[in-house]
């Protein structure tokens, strides 16, 4: 019998994290007056797989690139979604992109929410403004296995009622999927019958079991600092409080130093970090 030579297995070539993949804009959906969600499809047909909480570097050719958290379904069953606030030249170019426009996507980068760590207990989302976009994939992952979790609470603070993201989906989560949704705004117009005030003021009376809760927070850094302290006051363990620190990211791979937070590089060590690790850093304002 002639011996058969072993088949040599060739590993795929590593992907250069500095080289963008090409995606095509399928649709731009305006969520508020200054925030839009881009739905993107890969030109090579290969979906981009990501973990909730991760971000990509979105590139508008001829303009520049910016870090944007993925806001779509992490199951990979649909288009890649990014929810973008129009705040500068690159974001203005991205939200103005017409169907068929080609954009570059690097990544995904960073750590995720790991919402599966909350299985069997309660999960609390504390959100400020556009911070709902990075948390949406975590909620979608959780709701796909809703029976595995206890109470799910979403505490959401926005500038005005018109700035609330994904309003129709929030109502569907509350009505059909047993999510407690509490919304507060900074400024309520005449006739507004909802809450007015800081989102952190909703934490003390929210219905969840602190000792068996996973808490996820995203929004302005000062809001997350206050939210983490309020959650600790309720008795949520520090390792079970996770914040998304999206400060000054530029390269995505820890080379440029723009996102350094003392010994941490947020684009690599984060953006999602637990409060036990962050507490000594957040209490030092000069960092």
For position 4, what pLDDT does the model report?
Answer: 54
Kindly tell me if the per-residue pLDDT of 125 is higher than 70.
Answer: yes
What is the DSSP secondary-structure string of 268-282?
HH-SEEEHHHHHHHH
pLDDT in tens, 254-274: 888 888 888 999 999 999 999
User: Cα(226)–Cα(232) distance, rounded to whole angstroms?
Assistant: 10
Sign of the dihedral defined by the CA atoms of residues 235, 240, 246, 248, in that order: positive
Give the pLDDT band of residue 1 (cuts 50, 70, 90). Answer: very low
Query: CB–CB of 274/238 below 8 Å?
Result: yes
Fold type of domain 115-282? Rossmann fold (3.40.50)
For position 278, what pLDDT does the model report?
Answer: 94
CATH superfamily of 21-109: Translation factors (2.40.30.10)
User: Cα(274)–Cα(266) distance, rounded to whole angstroms?
Assistant: 12
CA 210 to chain centre: 23
User: Cα(270)–Cα(118) distance, rounded to whole angstroms?
Assistant: 19
In the chain, what are the domain boundaries? 21-109, 115-282
User: Cα(126)–Cα(213) distance, rounded to whole angstroms?
Assistant: 13
For position 6, what pLDDT does the model report?
Answer: 54
pLDDT in tens, 94-117: 999 999 999 999 999 999 999 999
**15-274-70-126 Cα dihedral, nearest 10 degrees:** 180
């Amino acid at each position: 019998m002639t011996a058969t030579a072993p088949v040599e297995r060739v590993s795929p070539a590593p992907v250069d994290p500095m080289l963008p993949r090409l995606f095509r804009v399928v649709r731009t959906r305006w969520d508020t007056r200054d925030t839009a969600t881009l739905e993107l499809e890969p030109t090579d047909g290969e979906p981009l797989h990501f973990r909730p909480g991760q971000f990509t570097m979105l590139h508008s050719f001829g303009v520049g690139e910016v870090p944007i958290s993925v806001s779509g379904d992490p199951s990979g069953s649909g288009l890649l979604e990014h929810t973008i606030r129009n705040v500068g030249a690159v974001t203005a170019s991205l939200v103005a992109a017409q169907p068929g426009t080609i954009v570059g996507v690097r990544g995904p980068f960073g750590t995720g929410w790991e919402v599966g760590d909350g299985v069997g207990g309660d999960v609390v989302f504390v959100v400020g403004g556009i911070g709902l976009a990075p948390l949406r994939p975590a909620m979608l992952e959780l709701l796909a296995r809703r029976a595995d979790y206890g109470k799910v609470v979403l505490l959401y603070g926005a500038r005005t009622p018109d700035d609330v993201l994904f309003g129709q989906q929030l109502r569907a989560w509350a009505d059909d999927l047993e999510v407690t949704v509490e919304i507060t705004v900074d400024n309520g117009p005449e006739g507004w019958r909802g809450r007015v005030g800081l989102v952190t003021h909703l934490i003390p009376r929210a219905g969840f079991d602190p000792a068996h809760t996973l808490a996820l927070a995203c929004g302005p850094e000062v809001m997350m600092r206050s939210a983490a302290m309020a959650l600790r006051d309720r008795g949520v363990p520090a390792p079970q409080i996770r914040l998304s620190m999206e400060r000054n990211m530029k390269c995505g791979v820890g080379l440029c130093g723009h996102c350094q937070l003392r010994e941490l590089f947020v684009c690599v060590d984060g953006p999602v970090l637990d409060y036990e690790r962050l507490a000594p850093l957040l209490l030092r304002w000069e960092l």
